[in-house]
Amino acid sequence: MVVSTLILNRIHDGWYMFYIYELPRVHEIIPGLFVDFWVKDLFLPLPIACVLCGSYLAARLRQPSPGKSLFYPLLTVGMLGGALSSRLHLGGYDNVLFPAYACIAVIFGLAIHRIGGLLTGKSTAGARLGVILITVSCLIQFGILKYDPVDQVPAVKDLVAGRELIDLISHVEGEVLLPDHGFLSYMAGKRTYAHRMAIHDVLRGSDEAREELLADIRESLSRGEFAAIILDTDWRSEDMEGRFKCHAPVFVDADVFWPVTGKRTRPTYLCVPR
């Protein structure tokens, strides 16, 4: 870890240490999310998995071999602790829960395997009932998580609207800034820039980094670096106000190009130099 940290920090001119260590340290912590993490994020969607995982980990800790007994409990502490730490930070969204869910999925499978092994080969009525109960429990847990994958597929009209937007961006003579959707600039053959959330993270960080970034943004605007800026929200600074005129909406149809999941946002304001 030490060697990789030093190498990555050198490759990225010090930004690696800044984003991994310095920036999270100065971000606001939301204590109220501590309870939500355990209840809403983990237990409510995964009640059976959480109970079986807890039982499995307790059984591991009772094993006589320290090395084997500690591995999965320590893995769980690390994975859930990392997810919790990210969740408590202001701006922590659902994606920070991936390590916790991955860990629970693994431990859940191990727990089912262990229970199955204890019941296999026993011909008693209690053993047969146990197999039925654990099978039904798994079905209930998966039933709680059910969703229709078709709902995650955008409609044809969204595809058409997206292609029209990319065509619009590609025909702008000069660079286009899309701070919320940099990949659209890339698809249109333009340069990409920092994502708005990454900018926001720095702006709510240390004073020195914030002032340097603001100065860099003002310099880019004053140089006329962008032939157009496309924003999701009316996110205009004083420096932008005097140089750009914004028109809305980008899409005439109010129902197209919205994400099918996650935050409901889309390119809305087309800002061009006055």
DSSP string, 138-206: HHHHHHHT---GGGGSPPHHHHHHHHHHHHHHHTSSSEEE-TT-HHHHHHTT------HHHHHHHHTS-
Find the domain containing 236 and state its range.
154-273
Q: Is residue 22 part of a domain?
A: no
Long-range contacts of 168-175 (CB under 8 A, 24+ apart): 169/228, 169/230, 172/227, 172/228, 173/227, 174/226, 174/227, 174/228, 175/225, 175/226, 175/227
The answer, yes or no, to whether residue 198 has pLDDT greater than 70, is yes
Q: How many domains does the structure of the chain reveal?
A: 2
Q: Is residue 4 part of a domain?
A: no
Q: Please indicate, yes or no, whether residues 39 and 134 belong to a single structural domain of this protein.
A: yes
Q: Please indicate, yes or no, whether residues 266 and 249 belong to a single structural domain of this protein.
A: yes
Q: Please indicate, yes or no, whether residues 58 and 107 belong to a single structural domain of this protein.
A: yes
Question: Cα 87 to chain center, whole Å?
Answer: 10
Q: Please indicate, yes or no, whether residues 93 and 124 belong to a single structural domain of this protein.
A: yes
Q: Please indicate, yes or no, whether residues 165 and 118 belong to a single structural domain of this protein.
A: no
Q: Is residue 24 part of a domain?
A: no
The tokens describing 63, both together, are 């094993």
Distances (CA, A) of 196 to 107, 114, 181, 189: 37, 47, 9, 20
Q: Please indicate, yes or no, whether residues 165 and 122 belong to a single structural domain of this protein.
A: no
> Distance between CA 172 and CA 221 in Å, rounded?
17
The answer, yes or no, to whether residue 240 has pLDDT greater than 90, is no
- Of the residues 120, 146, 172, which one is the last residue of a structural domain? 146
Percent of the chain with pLDDT over 70: 98
Q: Is residue 8 part of a domain?
A: no
Q: Is residue 23 part of a domain?
A: no
Q: Please indicate, yes or no, whether residues 141 and 251 belong to a single structural domain of this protein.
A: no
User: For the segment 150-172, what is each residue's pLDDT rounded down to a tens digit?
Assistant: 888 999 999 999 999 999 999 99
Q: What is the pLDDT of residue 188?
A: 96
**pLDDT confidence of 236, banded at 50, 70, 90?**
low
Question: Cα 248 to chain center, whole Å?
Answer: 28
- Of the residues 87, 121, 146, which one is the last residue of a structural domain? 146
User: For the segment 2-14, what is each residue's pLDDT rounded down to a tens digit?
Assistant: 999 999 999 999 9
As a whole number, the mean pLDDT across the chain is 90
- Of the residues 124, 146, 168, which one is the last residue of a structural domain? 146
Q: Is residue 75 part of a domain?
A: yes
Q: Is residue 21 part of a domain?
A: no
> Distance between CA 132 and CA 139 in Å, rounded?
11
Q: Please indicate, yes or no, whether residues 121 and 164 belong to a single structural domain of this protein.
A: no
Q: Please indicate, yes or no, whether residues 137 and 51 belong to a single structural domain of this protein.
A: yes
Give the three-state DSSP class for 27.
Answer: coil
Q: Is residue 73 part of a domain?
A: yes
> Distance between CA 198 and CA 209 in Å, rounded?
12
The tokens describing 39, both together, are 């209840």
Q: Please indicate, yes or no, whether residues 168 and 267 belong to a single structural domain of this protein.
A: yes
The answer, yes or no, to whether residue 190 has pLDDT greater than 80, is yes
**pLDDT confidence of 192, banded at 50, 70, 90?**
very high
**pLDDT confidence of 141, banded at 50, 70, 90?**
very high
Q: What is the pLDDT of residue 24?
A: 82
Q: Please indicate, yes or no, whether residues 49 and 119 belong to a single structural domain of this protein.
A: yes
| Closest CA relative to residue 108, chosen from 116, 120, 96 | 116
User: 121: alpha, beta or left, given left = phi > 0 and alpha = psi -120 to 50?
Assistant: left
The answer, yes or no, to whether residue 140 has pLDDT greater than 70, is yes
The tokens describing 152, both together, are 């995650």
Q: Please indicate, yes or no, whether residues 254 and 236 belong to a single structural domain of this protein.
A: yes
Q: Is the dihedral of CA 32, 34, 39, 45 positive or negative?
A: positive
